[in-house]
Structure 1
Amino acid sequence: MDRRSFIKKAGTAGAGAVAASALAAPAIAQENPKISWRMTSSFPKSLDTIFGGAEDIAKHVSNATGGNFTIQPFAAGEIVPALQAADAVTSGTVEAAHTTSYYFVGKDPTYAIGTAIPFSLNSRLTNAWYYQGNGNTLMNEFFATQGIYGLPAGNTGAQMGGWFRKEINTLDDLKGVKMRIAGLAGQVMSKLGVIPQQIGGADIYPALEKGTIDAAEFVGPYDDLKLGFHKVAKYYYYPGFWEGGPTVHGLFNLEKWSSLPKHYQAALTDACAFANTNMLAKYDMKNPSALKQLVAEGATLRPFSQEILEAAFQVSTGLYADISSSNPSFKKIYDDQTAFKRDAYLWMQLSEYTFDTFMMIQQRSGKL
């Protein structure tokens, strides 16, 4: 091959490479489009545990997509109030929300199962039902009717039963108590004589302080200490039987979710799974020391009586039967969760419960 022929062929090859790179650049851009979403939270920024779940999602999505897919979290009230997060997603005001779906039980009681209903599942079983059972599939069948796609994106673990101005020893003591309580738990407590109030987290303290309400449940020691509830209500009850393992959801506008590239959907799914695990780990780490501090500052711990627990369980079972009789979506999901729960707690009696009980006895006897 002579020199002139070589140069000509090399030039042709070079031009082809340039052309190929020119074609590749737009293709890459199409595969990794610049997308910016807004995510409204139902929680204040001061609660680094639960608001932090939205921040975890945003950080992980950005890192996984090289900064091409960004989500900006906003605290409750910055775009819409805490209890309007789902409506904002459905309407397209925002693309996403980080919230508890039971806040929207007034729209449909099926929303409540998405977070927790009284006497449902603990955190570990909740995750099992969502990830390995039918939970996520069934909830998204319902969410789709609301123009939403949902992913578990946080869990607080079993919550406390709330703060009361007076001691609650019997069922009669509950009558007339104005209590901040969310989801179907409000309807259960109403049947026991409580007057339920649904109030966003940031508004609970002033309501307790002013006497607008007599009691309030929120999450547990770490968050409750930050919000200062022990300063305006002395008695701290347990357990929060209405929230054995409540899920915090990432809710996404269904049309916006469906239009995402598949690898962006995967990145968002993984980000929510991390937020789900990380939130529970935060609470398990931070609640013990916070509980000690609350008691040191005057909080008085009290268990709900067996009488109250048994009455609440009976009322809850009746309520679910009533709702199921007229709401097919609720019945389908509730029946599936109940079937899972029946076998899951049979197993946990042998494993977790036996082991945990033994270790708690060692802790109480000072051997740990």
Structure 2
Amino acid sequence: MKRREFIKNAGIAAVGGAAATTTLAAPAIAQQRIEMVIVSTWPRDFPGLGTGAQRLSQRIQDVSDGRIQTQYFAAGERVGAFDVFDEVASGNAQAYHAADYYWKGKHPGFAYFTSVPFGLTENEMGAWINFMGGQELWDELSAEFGLKAYAAGNTGVQMGGWFNKEINSAEDFKGLKIRMPGLGGDVMAKLGASPVSLPGGQIYENLVSGAIDATEWVGPWNDYFLKFYEAAKYYYWPGMHEPGGYDAFGMNKTWFDNLTKSDQALIQACCLMENDMMMAEFNANNGRYLSKLINEHGVALREFNDDVYDAFGEAAEEVFSEARAHSDLANRIHESFAAARADVGGWMKLSEGAYYRQRNRVLGL
């Protein structure tokens, strides 16, 4: 064959091949379009938690070049804040963004994957979940309810809460009506308080009306926008109940399992990014808004004393014993968590803990 004829024929073949590829690829791309309804427990545009969930929803769509089409619904827009678990488990929606300790009534093990009293900080949680068996236990638990979850946000060490009176001893909790979910609420009950679980959008009205006497939420940035300072004067720290509150991106497991491996990895990567972004955003804002609460609104900052914290610790051990007795899985989750707390916590004491103490001493912080 002459060189000119070879080039001509090769060109025809290349065009034909490209046309064939285009013909085959177009329907395949169209079939890959995925609809993803996301429901959450947070109010629309609420700083940190709400905006982080919305940011994650948009990121999944953007990273997939629009192939995964997300529809985001804040609390109350599609279902109630505490109805998102059943909405996703049933397949009516594909995913939720929430704090998994809201589902401790379904299984106490869920509390560990948000935060528990005397639990893990954000750094320690990351170690446990990603490298010490935490994700595998979370998968086992979630699968029992038809779900698959990833960490998708963290709020760090939370404040102890807002109170309409000073807390000087464990006796001061008796008869107190306090909004505190998760196992932290169970600790309050051991001390004689009456814990209730309310979604964020309902806390202020209950605090103002006197339906509750105290509440915890997150920290200065979030609490400032919820205007708790209008109803409670005393702001206590540090919170024993949530030292590293993870948010969960829980997905319908059947839906998730039917995705390609690359789409599963895409969603996981987006969740991991939001996990870092949200924590950074809370750290960037909490100090500034704490100053505003104190200087602009006269909030009285108080630290729980050692006697109160000792009472928290004793009550927490009772709560953990009850959680472990629930089932073999609950016991295994606790044992894994406790091992990580001892191992990673021991290292953090020598590393970050010691550094913070010495740095702040030298700089007078």
Normalised-by-shorter TM-score class: over 0.9
User: Does structure 2 retain, via aligned residues, the 8 Å contact 1:160–1:217?
Assistant: yes
Q: In the TM superposition, what is the alpha-carbon distance from 1:59 to its structure 2 partner? A: 2.5
Deviation per CA, 1:135-187, whole angstroms, max 9, x where unpaired?
11111110000110000000000000110001111111111000000111111
User: Does structure 1 retain, via aligned residues, the 8 Å contact 2:146–2:252?
Assistant: yes
Q: Partner residue of 2:278?
A: 279
Aligned-partner residue type, residue 321 of structure 1: S
| 2:124 paired with 1:155 | no
Distance 1:317 1:158 in 2: 20
Q: Partner residue of 2:20?
A: 19
User: Does structure 1 retain, via aligned residues, the 8 Å contact 2:40–2:74?
Assistant: yes
Cα gap change, 1:354 to 1:70, in 2 (>3 Å): same
User: Does structure 2 retain, via aligned residues, the 8 Å contact 1:162–1:240?
Assistant: yes
Which stretch shows the higher mean deviation, 305-314 or 315-324? Answer: 315-324
| 2:307 paired with 1:307 | yes
Deviation per CA, 1:93-138, whole angstroms, max 9, x where unpaired?
2110000000111111111111011001111101111112211111
| 2:140 paired with 1:141 | yes
Q: In the TM superposition, what is the alpha-carbon distance from 1:29 to its structure 2 partner? A: 4.4
Cα gap change, 1:216 to 1:4, in 2 (>3 Å): closer
Distance 1:2 1:272 in 2: 58
Q: Partner residue of 2:317?
A: 317
Distance 2:242 2:17 in 1: 63
Q: In the TM superposition, what is the alpha-carbon distance from 1:5 to its structure 2 partner? A: 7.4
Q: Partner residue of 2:74?
A: 75
Deviation per CA, 1:64-108, whole angstroms, max 9, x where unpaired?
211111222211111111112111111112110000000111111
Distance 1:68 1:331 in 2: 41
SS at match of 1:302: strand
Distance 1:10 1:182 in 2: 70
Give unpaired runs (5+ residues) of structure 1.
none
Distance 1:226 1:278 in 2: 20
Aligned-partner residue type, residue 23 of structure 2: A
Q: In the TM superposition, what is the alpha-carbon distance from 1:4 to its structure 2 partner? A: 12
Q: Partner residue of 2:293?
A: 294
Deviation per CA, 1:194-245, whole angstroms, max 9, x where unpaired?
1101100010000000000000000000000000001110000111101010
Q: Partner residue of 1:131?
A: 130
Q: In the TM superposition, what is the alpha-carbon distance from 1:25 to its structure 2 partner? A: 3.2
Q: Partner residue of 1:336?
A: 336
SS at match of 1:39: strand
Number of aligned residues = 363
Distance 1:94 1:124 in 2: 31
Aligned-partner residue type, residue 244 of structure 1: P
Cα gap change, 1:12 to 1:361, in 2 (>3 Å): closer
SS at match of 1:37: strand
Cα gap change, 1:65 to 1:238, in 2 (>3 Å): same
Matches within 5 A, 1:239-278: 239-278=238-277
Q: Partner residue of 1:41?
A: 40
Distance 1:114 1:260 in 2: 24
Deviation per CA, 1:269-316, whole angstroms, max 9, x where unpaired?
000001100000000000001000001111101111211111111111
Distance 2:84 2:58 in 1: 21
SS at match of 1:219: coil
Q: In the TM superposition, what is the alpha-carbon distance from 1:324 to its structure 2 partner? A: 1.3
TM-score by length of 2: 0.94
Distance 2:307 2:257 in 1: 49
Give unpaired runs (5+ residues) of structure 2.
none
User: Does structure 2 retain, via aligned residues, the 8 Å contact 1:57–1:268?
Assistant: no
Cα gap change, 1:24 to 1:117, in 2 (>3 Å): same
Aligned-partner residue type, residue 166 of structure 1: K
Cα gap change, 1:7 to 1:221, in 2 (>3 Å): closer
Q: In the TM superposition, what is the alpha-carbon distance from 1:45 to its structure 2 partner? A: 2.1
User: Does structure 1 retain, via aligned residues, the 8 Å contact 2:45–2:51?
Assistant: no
Distance 1:295 1:20 in 2: 65
| 2:342 paired with 1:352 | no
Cα gap change, 1:16 to 1:326, in 2 (>3 Å): closer
Distance 1:147 1:356 in 2: 42
Cα gap change, 1:17 to 1:70, in 2 (>3 Å): closer
SS at match of 2:49: coil
User: Does structure 2 retain, via aligned residues, the 8 Å contact 1:222–1:283?
Assistant: yes
Aligned-partner residue type, residue 320 of structure 1: F
User: Does structure 1 retain, via aligned residues, the 8 Å contact 2:220–2:286?
Assistant: yes
Q: In the TM superposition, what is the alpha-carbon distance from 1:17 to its structure 2 partner? A: 4.2
SS at match of 2:172: helix
Cα gap change, 1:117 to 1:2, in 2 (>3 Å): closer
Identity rate of aligned residues, in percent?
Answer: 37
